[in-house]
Amino acid sequence: MAKKRRSKKSQKQMKKIISLILGLIVVVAVGFFGVESGIIGGESSLVPLVDDEHAFSLHVIDMGQGDSLLLSKDGKYALIDAGETMSPGERESREAIFAYLDSLGVKKLEFLLLTHQDYDHIGSAIDVLKRYDVGVVYDNGVEHTSKTYENLMTYLAEEDVSYKVVRDGDFISSPWSGVSIEVLSPPEDLIYKGKKADVNENSIVLKVTYGETTYLLTGDAETEAEEYILSTYADIDADLLKAGHHGSSSSSTYDFLRAVTPDVILISCGADNDYGHPHIEPLENFAKFTTADKIFRTDIDGDVVVTTDGTEYSVAVRNAPHDASKILISGNGVKV
């Protein structure tokens, strides 16, 4: 069991946000993403206001109803989840992931971390492994009988891909100087519902820290995982929270948010998705801790990039300008 840590609240109060939104800079006409986009110096047009050659970025890729997060710093990249929508024949998510990575010139991924075994988080994993040079694959080691996961495990074995299971208290080997990646969950003995380890509750939850800036990335962790983290760690304070389970009512409890006290909240969900994500309950909770201009949704904002120099951070969105008036409305049309 990991050690409890002292609060960093005093550090957090010293921080400031340089800018939450930088409008999309248009250089060329319609590009990969179906909106106006461009390339500046070989980089995506989602240019941050933080100007530091060693800046660390979290990219929330707009890949529909699923998850795929890219971490980048100093020309090195890593991917957290590589999902596909529940309409696999269309293959639209993997194409969105590929387009985004290719636009940045990504050839190698230092690691691919799969938070859990759901299709909307691993459905494009084999495609990613075939397309990019991947150093190591991490997951939670939960037994799962889906054909997609079985095929993935077979591929890793046949291709001799480095594979590691991580649990609470582990640290992911960081390819970036000054960046720590701590695993907060799942617990070593996992979280069970009945006789089976629950897939969502055992999502890998990461606390990623660079300098004084902390990102909390929660996969599809739900209330029991949140309770476990609260009971295990004295300090889960974070500047930026990637909301659990696409903004589902199964996650983001008031007590959890009170401990995290996020300034910025990121939600990955598909436009007009069949699940009504984000649900009204977490949106109501989010509104108690931050404002709509600091909550970002891929179904509205498109790709979202958070960049920090370790002290200050900025948020850039693909579909600029960020329309805060749409944020606190659930997928079912209910307004906070």
Token couple for 268: 């990955």
The backbone torsions φ and ψ at residue 77, rounded to the nearest 5 degrees and listed phi first, read -135, 155
Is residue 16 exposed (0-12), middle (13-18) or buried (19+ Cβ within 10 Å)? Answer: exposed
pLDDT (tens digit per residue) in 259-283: 999 999 999 998 988 888 999 999 9
Which structure tokens are listed for 86?
A: 């529940």
- State pLDDT tens for residues 249-259: 999 999 999 99
pLDDT surpassing 90 at residue 42? no
What pLDDT score was predicted for residue 202?
Answer: 96
β partners of residue 296: 266
pTM score: 0.87
Alpha-carbon span 64 to 62, nearest angstrom: 6
Tell me yes or no: is domain 9-321 CATH 3.90.1300.10.
no
Query: Is it the case that residue 135 has pLDDT exceeding 50?
Result: yes
Cα separation, 330 vs 244, in Å, equals 15
CA gyration radius, the chain: 18
pLDDT class of 21 with cuts at 50, 70, 90: very low
Single out the residue of 319, 255, 237 nearest to residue 60, CA to CA.
Answer: 319
Which amino acid is it at 7? S
Q: What is the DSSP string of 6-64?
A: ---HHHHHT--EEEEEEPPPP-SSB-TTSSB--EETTEES---S---TT-EEEEE---S
pLDDT at 5: 28
Among 61-65, 75-79, 184-188, 254-258, which is the least confidently predicted range? 61-65
- Please give the C-alpha separations between residue 147 and each of 89, 109, 120, in angstroms, as whole numbers: 15, 25, 14
- The DSSP call for residue 4 is P
